[in-house]
């Protein structure tokens, strides 16, 4: 049988499979949501009288329903536009730039018509739609006739979806890294405050004499008083911790605060706490560089901090992007961050002490912590295993036989940031030696990656007394949905996370809880922070 001549053969359109149409539909809906958002944003820019005219003109017209209506011209145009966009990509990849240009031109015409219909609040008429639908149909058929078949379309769309996913993941990592960087950098205002205070410290000899008197005060070793320790180089944050504690204490004159900072911040920290009143509470400031016993021969963490591999891990240019950015936070190389494991050595004459992080705010009287029965345990802390990801196996590598033989992977984690320590029990159990042991075991960073909590979970294993959850509420530095009732009932709220309350990226809902304890009347605060 003879074949019919080619000129009599009617062109047959290739049909797309149902799941490809579903994919196109998803692109359509995403574009629709973006379009409606931009449309609503535009309406907000229009003055009130014009908005009233548009509202009357639109009447009951709903553009969203119109574009989702299978029989409407808006729906047909949107579907053709989505398909045309796919063929633009394929045409460019096949170097058919003329076809890609023609398709792009018609896509812009289609977008303009849809935009006009949305703005005027009326459906697209057949006279408006027919020329664009016809020309787009012709170009799509032309693209199909150029052998851009469905298999090619599928493979192209799949590759572009994968590329978009990779770009999204890279952007997420980059965003996290930038957020981490912002959280670590000292804001200009706080740097200004530090400079002004260090200038006072260096120029005013009476301040230095007063500091020496405070250091030799018998109150700093009196176990009949209530002792708190804070290790930080952030003056304003430390001040908020002290101020919020004394403001909510029944007897603030019975409180003693032990602050340890680094050599750079020592003078400014002294100047701030010597020139501000904290309702009669005693404030002692120490310089970590004066702790001669804290050296590489005693503390394994110091060897790790100065080791070249550790510094490359946190600061090196060739970093593995698969590792979570928070695990590379350089604060974990700060000795101040690890000083919490040496509290008995720093305060050898004290029996009990409350440790407070510099990103907490105290809302209740904490002296009741000192009368709690810890049942012979060293550490009183709030457990965090109400969320499943706060179990031991989430922090520590249980594939290591040393870990798996000694610890329960489902054991409950707890919060570091507001802890009551029985220093007599600490010395008896020799917890610091346990910390040293696990730091040495983790010299190659295979047991854990993240900072101070994992070694604390190991060193205080079986020695931690769970406290009522209301003593310590966490998450104000990253979680925007904490129940107000839980915050109000909390003795301590913790801004753990990158969104610290002294930064611009702080969560605005929680920031007033911190700001109410800032001494905003101080002239240096006025000059540096509010100006």
**Confidence at 110, pLDDT banded by 50, 70, 90:** confident
**Residue 362, strand partner residues:** 492
Answer for the pair 357, 416: CB distance below 8 angstroms, yes or no: yes
188-287+335-530: CATH superfamily: Spore Coat Polysaccharide Biosynthesis Protein SpsA; Chain A (3.90.550.10)
Answer for the pair 422, 378: CB distance below 8 angstroms, yes or no: yes
Question: How many angstroms separate the CA atoms of 334 and 260, rounded?
Answer: 13
User: In this structure, are strands 360-362 and 352-356 parallel, antiparallel, or unpaired?
Assistant: unpaired
Query: Which tops the pLDDT comparison, 121 or 279?
Result: 279
If one counts every other C-beta atom within 10 angstroms of the C-beta of residue 114, the result is 24
Residues in Cβ contact with 161 at an 8 Å cutoff, skipping those fewer than 6 apart:
none
**Confidence at 448, pLDDT banded by 50, 70, 90:** confident
Question: How many angstroms separate the CA atoms of 364 and 492, rounded?
Answer: 7
Six-digit token pair at 268?
A: 């400014």
User: In this structure, are strands 360-362 and 492-494 parallel, antiparallel, or unpaired?
Assistant: antiparallel
Report pLDDT for 321: 46
Question: How many angstroms separate the CA atoms of 125 and 76, rounded?
Answer: 12
Answer for the pair 363, 238: CB distance below 8 angstroms, yes or no: no
Q: Map residue 243 onto helix, strand or coil.
A: helix
Q: Which residue, among 106, 352, 111, has the nearest Cα to 225 in the 3D structure? A: 352
**Per-domain boundaries in the chain:** 64-148, 188-287+335-530
For range 451-461, the mean pLDDT: 93
Six-digit token pair at 409?
A: 């992977």
Q: Map residue 23 onto helix, strand or coil.
A: helix
Question: How many angstroms separate the CA atoms of 348 and 212, rounded?
Answer: 19
* Out of 28-32, 98-102, 267-271, 313-317, least confident range: 313-317
Q: Which residue, among 89, 67, 64, 88, has the nearest Cα to 76 in the 3D structure? A: 67
For range 103-129, the mean pLDDT: 84
For range 345-361, the mean pLDDT: 97
Does residue 66 register a pLDDT over 80? no
Mean of the per-residue pLDDT values of the chain:
80
Query: Which tops the pLDDT comparison, 128 or 147?
Result: 128
Note the pLDDT tens digit of each residue in 198-220.
888 888 888 888 888 888 899 99
Six-digit token pair at 243?
A: 């101020």
For range 13-32, the mean pLDDT: 58
The full DSSP string for 175-205 is HHHHHHHHHHSPPHHHHHHHHHHHHHHHH-H
**Confidence at 340, pLDDT banded by 50, 70, 90:** very high
Note the pLDDT tens digit of each residue in 68-83.
777 788 888 888 787 7
Query: Which tops the pLDDT comparison, 420 or 401?
Result: 420
Six-digit token pair at 429?
A: 């159990």
For range 400-428, the mean pLDDT: 94
Does residue 320 register a pLDDT over 60? no
Q: Kindly provide the b/e burial profile for residues 475-498, where b requires at least 16 CB atoms within 10 angstroms of the residue's own CB.
A: bbbeeeebeeeebeebbbbbbbbb
* Out of 31-45, 155-169, 369-383, least confident range: 31-45
Residues in Cβ contact with 442 at an 8 Å cutoff, skipping those fewer than 6 apart:
448, 455
Answer for the pair 319, 267: CB distance below 8 angstroms, yes or no: no
């Amino acid at each position: 049988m003879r074949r019919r001549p080619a000129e009599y053969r009617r062109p047959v359109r290739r049909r797309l499979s149902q799941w490809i149409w579903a994919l196109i539909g998803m692109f359509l809906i995403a574009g629709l949501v973006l379009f409606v958002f931009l449309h609503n944003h535009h309406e907000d820019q229009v003055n009130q009288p014009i908005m009233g005219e548009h509202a009357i003109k639109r009447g009951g017209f709903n553009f969203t329903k119109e574009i989702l209506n299978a029989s409407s011209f808006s729906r047909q145009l949107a579907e053709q536009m989505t398909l045309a966009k796919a063929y633009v990509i394929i045409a460019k990849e096949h170097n058919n730039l003329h076809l890609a240009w023609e398709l792009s031109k018609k896509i812009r015409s289609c977008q303009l018509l849809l935009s006009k219909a949305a703005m005027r609040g009326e459906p697209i008429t057949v006279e408006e739609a027919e020329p664009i639908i016809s020309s787009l149909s012709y170009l799509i058929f032309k693209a199909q006739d150029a052998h851009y078949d469905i298999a090619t379309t599928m493979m192209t769309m799949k590759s572009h979806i994968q590329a978009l996913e990779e770009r999204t993941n890279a952007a997420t990592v980059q965003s996290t890294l930038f957020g981490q960087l912002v959280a670590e950098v000292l804001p200009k205002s706080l740097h200004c405050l530090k400079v002004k205070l260090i200038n006072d410290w260096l120029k005013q000899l009476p301040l230095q004499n007063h500091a020496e008197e405070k250091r030799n005060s018998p109150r700093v070793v009196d176990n009949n008083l209530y002792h708190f320790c804070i290790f930080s180089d952030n003056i304003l944050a430390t001040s908020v911790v002290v101020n919020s504690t004394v403001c909510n204490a029944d007897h603030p004159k019975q409180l003693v605060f032990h602050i340890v900072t680094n050599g750079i911040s020592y003078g400014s920290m002294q100047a701030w706490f010597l020139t501000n009143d904290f309702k009669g509470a005693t404030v002692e400031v120490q310089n970590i560089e004066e702790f001669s016993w804290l050296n590489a021969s005693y503390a394994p963490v110091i060897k790790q901090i100065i080791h070249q591999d550790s510094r490359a891990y946190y600061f090196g240019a060739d970093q593995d992007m698969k590792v979570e950015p928070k695990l590379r936070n350089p604060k974990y190389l700060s000795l101040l961050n690890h000083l919490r494991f040496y509290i008995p050595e720093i305060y050898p004459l004290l029996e009990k002490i409350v440790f407070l992080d510099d990103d907490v705010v105290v809302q209740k009287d904490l002296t009741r912590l000192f009368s709690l029965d810890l049942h012979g345990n060293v550490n009183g802390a709030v457990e965090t295993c109400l969320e499943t990801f706060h179990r031991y196996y989430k922090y520590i590598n249980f594939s290591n036989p040393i870990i798996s033989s000694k610890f329960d992977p489902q054991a409950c984690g707890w919060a570091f940031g507001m802890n009551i320590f029985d220093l007599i029990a600490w010395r008896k159990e020799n917890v610091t030696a346990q910390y040293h042991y696990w730091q040495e075991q983790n010299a190659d960073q295979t047991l854990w990656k993240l900072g101070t909590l994992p070694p604390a979970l190991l060193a205080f294993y079986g020695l931690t007394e769970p406290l009522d959850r209301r003593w310590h509420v966490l998450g104000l530095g990253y979680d925007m949905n904490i129940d107000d009732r839980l915050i109000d009932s909390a003795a301590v709220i913790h801004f753990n996370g990158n969104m610290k309350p002294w930064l611009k990226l702080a969560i605005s809902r929680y920031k007033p809880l911190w700001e109410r304890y800032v001494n905003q009347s101080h002239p240096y605060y006025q000059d540096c922070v509010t100006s």
